[in-house]
A and B are shown apart, each in its own frame.
Chain A
Amino acid sequence: MSETLASHLTALKPEIWLTGTILVMLVLDLLVGKRSARTVGVFGLIGIGGAMWALMNQSSVPVRAFGLISIDTYSIFFRALIISATGIVMLHGMVFRGIEDETRAEFGPMLVGAALGACLLVSTDNLIMLLVGMELLSLCSYVMAGWQKKERRSAEAGLKYLVYGAMASGLMLFGFSLLYGLSGSMWMPEIALAVSEAWSLGDAGQHMIVVIASTLVFVGFGFKISAFPFHFWAPDVYEGSPTPVTSMLAVASKTAGFGVLIRFVDTVYLDLTIAEDWLGRFGYVIAVLAAITMTYGNVTAVKQNNIKRLLAYSSIAHAGYLLMGVAVMTTATVDNRAAVGIGMESILFYLVSYYIATLGAFGCAMAFANRFGAETLEDYEGLGWSSPWIGACFIIFLTSLVGLPPAIGLIGKWLLFKATLSVGLDWLAVIAALNAAVALFYYFKIARALFLRGDTDYQEGLASKGVIPGLAHLSLIVLAIFTVYFGLMWDGIMEWVSEAVM
């Protein structure tokens, strides 16, 4: 008994590191007292580093832990993205001026809690664990979104996120209960069996049940990835939340959402020879949603003046691009099964490029807010000349987001387009290409404000000296270097991605 328990626990080493980090941070916060924020943050970074180290040492042989978690290369890929993003967000959270010093020490445990939930969410194939992981991620995010309690916008963001999130999880839970009724199990492979049986042997009523249950479940996932028509919370919440929290929502939370969505689609709908007509129609719906999501995000972003809001709409648009990959996976016909793998690979690669560039872009927005209090395009005018390093990094991240050479974003878009064309969704590829042109326009607006507008004199902002702010700036520069480096040599990422898809 204890031996099996030990083997279960070894499989979950990164999660144990994260849990331990939460506990150590909470206890340290009490012990060190008033000026504890720095110490607690440093211990948090060490803990996240430990989790990352434990994750990298995990063998790629698939194991199951506690009967609910499957530790495979796929989950290692997603957990690596989530945990490293959490580390960078933690570092940024330590220097962000919007968070008051007296609540800074408690901010860390929230962040690590969200990361723990996200890690479990992407590794599980059981509905109960999925629910608990998703709620851990969501509840920590709600609290963090409302963290600047003296800012009306932040509290509103927290409340709005919570109300709509609770609604989405209520709908998702009803979908789960229908799936449980259909299959008598909480385990995705058994649900897959029941779903395909209900579809191939059942009458119209059973088809209806499958459709209703799938729709309700996808409301929950769609909310997490902010896909149309469940995107409406994103702009207000992204704008109102403290900037490090915004990058957590845009990167870690969205990555986790895609992680669980792809696993669900892959296990429940693709593993079995489910009836072709149903899957084809399903894939078509996702393709249409992807097109609407990216068009809506990009077109609305053009009118925005607040940088965080603009990036929020751009993040909705990127969810649309990523959904293109899901559409590829689901429209792959039986004689073209390879397209499933191609679609998945393109999503995962695009996620890496999105991850680096978005984390960096929000980091730069935070740096400008910290130093100059700049939030809108007018505030940004001429600031590029006052802090050229951050300005240059911002330009690189924007280049990657729009998909121009030499950044990694270009490779991501190219793979996605190729995958889309391989299953014959040509119209979707055309819409995506048109969207990229629109995106170029509003990303250029930021670049123009930074370097081509306003007075180019040096402005003395609130400079912050010290090791931690230095590290935070360094993290942006490192991310910018990654953007360009992987944009030129993407073989390493490609290898990692195709290993994760296996």
Chain B
Amino acid sequence: MIQLEHYLYLSGLVFTLGLCGVMMRRNVILVLMGVEIMLNAANLALIAFNKYMLPIDGIVEPKGQVFVFFTIAVAAAEVAVALVIAVALFRRLDTVNVDDVANLRW
């Protein structure tokens, strides 16, 4: 029987995987992919909470889902900006290897 805790365990695991990707990768694009995974884990937790929420006056408003809608839209804009800046940067550099970007060292 699948219950809320299974979704929460899954969300925690996926979040950790995203965080691993962010922490261990050197490539900016891979770091961004890790961030997307982290956002998805948070979204999954939000929707799971929303589904199991105690109803008030017999209804549960899908507020968690509204929140997720905003996150998805914002993430899309974020990735678009990331792509644009990355392209502008790679055009400036002779190399296309993100590892050569000095300022992006930790």
Interface residues on A, range: 35 or more
Q: Which residues of B contact A72 (CB under 8 A)?
A: none
Q: If the complex has contacts A142-B81, A186-B63, are A167 and B88 also in contact, measured as CB distance less than 8 A?
A: no
Q: Is the CB of A159 within 8 A of B104?
A: yes
- Across-interface contacts of B67 in A (CB, < 8 A): 127-128, 131, 176, 180, 186
Stretch at the interface among A146-154, A270-278, A404-412: A146-154
Known: A157-B103, A178-B45, A180-B67. A170 touches B92 (CB 8 A): no
Cβ < 8 Å to A, chain B residues 9-58: 15, 18, 22, 28, 31-32, 35, 38-39, 41-43, 45-46, 49-50, 53-54
- Complex contact B103–A162 (CB within 8 A): no
Q: Is the CB of B85 within 8 A of A158?
A: yes
- The answer to whether A473 has its CB under 8 Å from any CB of chain B is no
| CB closest chain-B residue, reference A153 | B103
CB distance from A189 to the nearest CB of B (A): 15
CB-based contact B85/A142 at 8 Å: yes
Are A173's CB and B71's CB within 8 A?
yes
A181 within 8 A of B: yes
**Chain A residue contacts of B78, Cβ below 8 A:** 135, 139, 142, 162, 166
Total number of B residues with any Cβ neighbor in A under 8 Å:
42
A475 within 8 A of B: no
Known contacts A135-B74, A156-B89; A174 and B104 CB within 8 A of each other? no
| Minimum-distance CB pairs A-B, first 3 | A170-B38, A155-B89, A181-B49
Measured CB to CB, the residues of B under 8 A from A are 15, 18, 22, 28, 31-32, 35, 38-39, 41-43, 45-46, 49-50, 53-54, 63-64, 66-67, 70-71, 74, 77-78, 81-82, 84-86, 88-89, 91-93, 101-104, 106
10 example contacts (A-B, Cβ-Cβ < 8 A) are as follows A135-B77, A146-B89, A149-B92, A157-B103, A159-B85, A167-B22, A170-B18, A173-B39, A181-B49, A184-B54
Known: A135-B74, A159-B28. 9 other contacts (CB 8 A): A135-B77, A150-B92, A166-B78, A167-B31, A174-B45, A177-B42, A177-B45, A180-B46, A185-B63
Could you tell me which A residues sit within 8 Å of B by CB distance?
Answer: 127-128, 131-132, 135, 139, 142-143, 146, 149-153, 155-160, 162-163, 166-167, 170-171, 173-174, 176-178, 180-181, 184-186, 232, 236, 240
